[in-house]
Structure 1
């Protein structure tokens, strides 16, 4: 019987509920405690010892092969999709090839953290300590740190430029071409590699290097096929043992699918989504780089769904169940970071982004039934992962916008919105082909790239602390806390005679800071390229096979990257306070301000001065041209300077090979706030900085429209790495349908008229957040938007929780 096509999008705000099976599976995952898992570390060490005489590409391929052949696998009772990253769900593997020093140093403190707590058994500690000597001076961190030029190392050591994540883990920040994998299977990649191998003239050393990559590619393809076959055999074994006939049927279907995919093409929706999950999983077993994203899931899954629906093989309910299963599987992946890195990524995020909506290459609305089903699945699952991004464009229907706002009301911090009207022209202007620009997706937080054609870290390179940089400039180029001379001395603030003199010093100093960030980033990239290529990820990224190169060697079609600039609002508010209160009105002397900053506003009379800084100077986020122009001007030296520098892949194949700006600072505002003394906006020392391009807490007093106007004045077309804007509203506000309509109108104005880049919403009231701090057991499912990602509130450190509580709660 052929079923009639169902339209799940008919009713706004109706998302359905989890099936009993998925409800049980969700509870199982939520009840899983996060442990540090030593298994991958042990297997990796075994492989490195066995194959250490091989070429680096072969070593990396053999490592993945050894892991996939020998790691623990299991199939949970209530899952329909199979594949696990560690010995148990939510356990976090250790990746010793990237870093072991911090692992050993923190073994006894994982469970004592103020947030992002991990447990670890004594047996696991013993296993990790046993293998640690092999990795001494033999990790990415060791090699990367040793390679930093001495002057640049000083910036890194003092935390002025943060790059901890770049030398303690893999790259990530990528979406491979899942569409090609599910349509043609890994067998197609295998054939392409073999065809290229036959063309090689090995008297050319470059061709000999290609040979190693191709050999490695064949190894990882077979290893992935073998990995899938292990699940097929396990499913058959469990089917033979179960007395539950329904589960037996499910297991036999799993066995059939895993015997086929991802090596062979998928022929139906179930096979396609399982293939997507397995590839996604193996990429994160290969490397612990986060922000591995799904790309435009609705676009490449919908054809399979529509075909199955037309032939009666599936219903919308069954497809949604599989999508919820995918969401839950996504949450099972976990990552343990050093505490220093954790402060930049609070909430154990993996930033695994799904993108829906947007346009087709001919400019038509790309929303389809799968777009709506994914919204349903996100709400039903009610989890902080995967991330969900909606690509906005002016032709997006009111119906779909209404449904997106209805999802926002659920309090997931999702979906975030990225604006086609800004991003696509920005991409095309940078040399990206029109059809590729129209196919972009969100990667990780708010960053964007073309799935399957873009290299690593379109955003996610080093972090520059803007407010701390200002303090260094004011102190004659010397770090006020350490006393180290970092930048040229353009005069001490107390001796400057005008704001223009300070700004000139800022301009020159920021350019030097930018140069140092490039040196640090290049060093990290060089260490990764030379020692830790990701073979499977490269195979699945065009044109690595054609060029015979890994991504880091220049294999991707496009390769643009960006660092992250932290504390934009603090910089804006600091500059206007100095200009207005010190130089223009002379209400505060230069020495008084400098003394107050050094004393953290604790000496006599300095609290009154702090209140003057807060209350007597206008603030960013209120559509005040004077303030907004100051930050636009102060940001521009970075934008201009960073555009001068090529990345390590420039001229080696990819289009681009350049850098641009980005404000997706994740939770670095908290971590970098720890190392920043008091600032001229009245902020106390060691407290969080502002996040993204959002206004400082409670400083945006004129409503969301004013915030949108201020943010839109930034040079968004040049900040291609993402202009992250967090907004917060109470659930009570969106309880009114009229207010929901107003929010849709507000979003359209922001994107259509003001050319905003991005926005996302926390819909939770202060009372709930405060109660969750006091009674975490009552709020296990409370989800908040931290930065460009969501997290369970109760798993965050109190400092990060407080940062979220203090954000301005907007009205409409």
Structure 2
């Protein structure tokens, strides 16, 4: 559903666009202070896990679950727990904050810890556990900003009043509406507690902080309960609603839905450009307070409006500039590149990456939109996509899509097929055997995922208030977990797909071309983890042709493997009757799965990480960045809407580095790639960071589909990044 704004929505255009370059405001001292404070007092460093596992927050939910015993259904008891948790959360307002809302990380007392453990034991034994993937979606923030939570409640009440409570279908809708109302009322209570806290702090503060705290109170007394009118109110409303969910949610396309409020404030003298930038920076910094470094959440800028008009406005530039100011792993910022993206802003984004920020990732907007349309999305919806967390593609405001569940270790599937293969089998028959095993694996995995979806439809997983900002859910009286959202695909994630390609490539060369080994001999060498076969392993690594070098046979093999993966998903349906559309990236699972995967024909030893995303085996793409991208594009990554992540590592001393990045992005978009993410860190720097981590605390790297601080990740993942080819283009 589309809501008309009181403030006219315009897409910012430049009269002489090719000569335009926006000068974004400098980072303020407030933002620098907040960044330093958050990095020392947030889930990144304090607890090492995300806010939805913070003990104090979970204890409140457990208490709510216990006190909600009177609720007639499990779903309503969950909703009561959510309401109780929000109503009893301690407001947290840190020094210098203008946008507020974060979990309380104060440690539990001994008595509280004992109570927490008692409740947790009850929870684990009584409450249905989480099954499959939760959250990972972009909500309808347009609607929130235009009608507020009170508008959502009015819509819920109007729909509920029409029901016949002695009709089974209507009774199920009534349950949904009751749960939504409970949770939204809890959110309003939480906002009011923040108002009271800000006013109390103001009484004990001097100027200018006193006025800032009173303004925080004023804003939260208005939003998220009511429609926003200013940029600050809009940012606070979006952040507060999202923070309350204690999950991973994409902010969608903020340079579009926030633009009318920004333009209104600038035109009416409410904000200067510098003040607006500071507010955006404060908003972006809260990803640190609400996200541990090994998770990912963010938003997309650029791209197109729902009706296909190219977007490039002041906020597009300013959100990119926030990457410089926040210098953090999150938000995960994506830049959707279109045929109308100006050279100036593309160069600007490239300069930011060249500085070593790891954001933005570059996305082929048209390639993704075309793939979504081919898979059944309406064109109107296909223009408004987002990477929901890492790189999974989901529709903003309309997602019941289940992402990265299940994870499928494609390399293990191939190893299982090799165990069955007999000497003398033709290569084509070997490929068919791999196909058979892949088909069987997907039937098994999607069956399990569908069982989990059925369980979630009964007892829930995500809070009801996520469905309140998902199209059709309130109108239908169904949560997105019960099929209320328009799109309900499953996006399983294929790990090690390029290890599989490379393994088949090596088998072809060693067994079928050179006839150096029989298939059974090679299989035994892998099972022995290349024991006494290091010469052979080095021959594989250094002498044989590899995928990633624009080499015809291995490139065609990658296409065949990707086709088999897609075809294994094609006959299957989700519990809600939707398609299965895979992804091919890793998050950090390439290291986790690698630890339990035996040695493989590609030269990988047992326990080593799989490929980190959708790119060649680490260090095998030795013919330069363009050749690597040409190979990657051969298997048509946009077909994998579950997400692809092409990692590229460039040396910082590369001449004209930002121009090189621009050229690579243009090339990758032109040849039909999907997503490109770039690390600017040479091998010497990474090795130095391993040796002296204290000197490299701010060194950011791209992992699989997300960013993290290099010195905080496990050594096997550090080693995997070091092994990646580093290009000096």
TM-score for both structures, normalised by structure 1: 0.84
Structure 1 CA distance, aligned partners of 2:686 and 2:20? Answer: 31
Structure 2 CA distance, aligned partners of 1:63 and 1:472? Answer: 45
Secondary structure of 1:270's partner? helix
Map of 2:665 onto structure 1: 747
The correspondence of residues 169-568 of structure 1 with structure 2, limited to 5 A, is 171-242=134-205, 244-284=206-246, 288=247, 290=248, 292-334=249-291, 347-349=293-295, 351-457=296-402, 459-476=403-420, 492-493=421-422, 495-533=423-461, 534-568=463-497
The correspondence of residues 588-737 of structure 1 with structure 2, limited to 5 A, is 588-603=517-532, 606-650=533-577, 657-733=578-654, 736-737=655-656
Secondary structure of 1:185's partner? helix
Residue 12 of structure 1: how far off its partner (Å): 6.2
Corresponding pairs, count: 706
User: Do the aligned residues in 1 keep the contact of 2:506 with 2:540 (CA within 8 Å)?
Assistant: yes
Secondary structure of 2:336's partner? strand
Instruction: Give unmatched runs, 5+ long, in structure 1.
Output: 92-119, 145-165, 336-346, 477-491, 651-656
Alignment equivalent of 1:68, drawn from 86, 105, 110: 86
User: Do the aligned residues in 2 keep the contact of 1:576 with 1:617 (CA within 8 Å)?
Assistant: no
The one-character-per-residue Cα deviations of 1:630-684 (angstroms, maximum 9, x if unpaired) are 122122222112122111222xxxxxx2111111221111111111111001111
User: Do the aligned residues in 1 keep the contact of 2:31 with 2:282 (CA within 8 Å)?
Assistant: yes
User: Do the aligned residues in 1 keep the contact of 2:612 with 2:703 (CA within 8 Å)?
Assistant: no
Distance 1:123 1:681, change over 3 A: farther
Residue 247 of structure 1: how far off its partner (Å): 0.6
Structure 2 CA distance, aligned partners of 1:551 and 1:6? Answer: 36
Residue 611 of structure 1: how far off its partner (Å): 2.2
Residue 561 of structure 1: how far off its partner (Å): 2.2
User: Do the aligned residues in 2 keep the contact of 1:13 with 1:403 (CA within 8 Å)?
Assistant: no
User: Do the aligned residues in 1 keep the contact of 2:25 with 2:277 (CA within 8 Å)?
Assistant: no
Structure 2 CA distance, aligned partners of 1:6 and 1:357? Answer: 12
Distance 1:14 1:567, change over 3 A: farther
User: Do the aligned residues in 2 keep the contact of 1:664 with 1:788 (CA within 8 Å)?
Assistant: yes
User: Do the aligned residues in 2 keep the contact of 1:716 with 1:756 (CA within 8 Å)?
Assistant: yes
Structure 2 CA distance, aligned partners of 1:356 and 1:10? Answer: 21
Secondary structure of 1:784's partner? strand
Structure 2 CA distance, aligned partners of 1:322 and 1:6? Answer: 23
Residue 125 of structure 1: how far off its partner (Å): 5.4
Map of 1:788 onto structure 2: 705
Distance 1:617 1:125, change over 3 A: farther
Residue 140 of structure 1: how far off its partner (Å): 4.1
User: Do the aligned residues in 2 keep the contact of 1:6 with 1:316 (CA within 8 Å)?
Assistant: no
Distance 1:38 1:520, change over 3 A: same
Distance 1:202 1:132, change over 3 A: closer
Give the RMSD, CA atoms, in angstroms. Answer: 2.2
Distance 1:801 1:123, change over 3 A: farther
Map of 1:34 onto structure 2: 46
Secondary structure of 2:490's partner? strand
Q: Decide which moves more: 785-794 or 46-55.
A: 46-55
Structure 2 CA distance, aligned partners of 1:87 and 1:607? Answer: 50
Q: Decide which moves more: 128-137 or 316-325.
A: 128-137
Residue 207 of structure 1: how far off its partner (Å): 0.1
Structure 2 CA distance, aligned partners of 1:123 and 1:582? Answer: 66
Structure 2 CA distance, aligned partners of 1:270 and 1:662? Answer: 37
User: Do the aligned residues in 1 keep the contact of 2:492 with 2:581 (CA within 8 Å)?
Assistant: yes
Residue 781 of structure 1: how far off its partner (Å): 1.3
User: Do the aligned residues in 1 keep the contact of 2:62 with 2:120 (CA within 8 Å)?
Assistant: no
Distance 1:175 1:331, change over 3 A: same
Structure 1 CA distance, aligned partners of 2:213 and 2:109? Answer: 32
Map of 2:8 onto structure 1: none
Secondary structure of 2:444's partner? helix
Q: Decide which moves more: 676-685 or 590-599.
A: 590-599
User: Do the aligned residues in 2 keep the contact of 1:57 with 1:535 (CA within 8 Å)?
Assistant: no
Distance 1:456 1:86, change over 3 A: farther
Map of 1:798 onto structure 2: 715
The correspondence of residues 115-130 of structure 1 with structure 2, limited to 5 A, is 126-130=114-118
Structure 1 CA distance, aligned partners of 2:13 and 2:392? Answer: 34
Residue 217 of structure 1: how far off its partner (Å): 1.2
Structure 1 CA distance, aligned partners of 2:121 and 2:314? Answer: 54
User: Do the aligned residues in 1 keep the contact of 2:581 with 2:640 (CA within 8 Å)?
Assistant: yes
User: Do the aligned residues in 2 keep the contact of 1:692 with 1:787 (CA within 8 Å)?
Assistant: yes
Structure 2 CA distance, aligned partners of 1:441 and 1:702? Answer: 32
Instruction: Give unmatched runs, 5+ long, in structure 2.
Output: 1-11
Structure 2 CA distance, aligned partners of 1:368 and 1:567? Answer: 39
User: Do the aligned residues in 2 keep the contact of 1:552 with 1:649 (CA within 8 Å)?
Assistant: no
User: Do the aligned residues in 2 keep the contact of 1:578 with 1:680 (CA within 8 Å)?
Assistant: yes
Structure 2 CA distance, aligned partners of 1:690 and 1:76? Answer: 41
User: Do the aligned residues in 1 keep the contact of 2:57 with 2:103 (CA within 8 Å)?
Assistant: no
Residue 427 of structure 1: how far off its partner (Å): 1.5
The one-character-per-residue Cα deviations of 1:507-546 (angstroms, maximum 9, x if unpaired) are 1111001111101211222232222242000111111001
Residue 136 of structure 1: how far off its partner (Å): 4.1
Structure 2 CA distance, aligned partners of 1:41 and 1:270? Answer: 30
Structure 1 CA distance, aligned partners of 2:140 and 2:266? Answer: 24
User: Do the aligned residues in 2 keep the contact of 1:572 with 1:619 (CA within 8 Å)?
Assistant: no
Q: Decide which moves more: 715-724 or 271-280.
A: 715-724
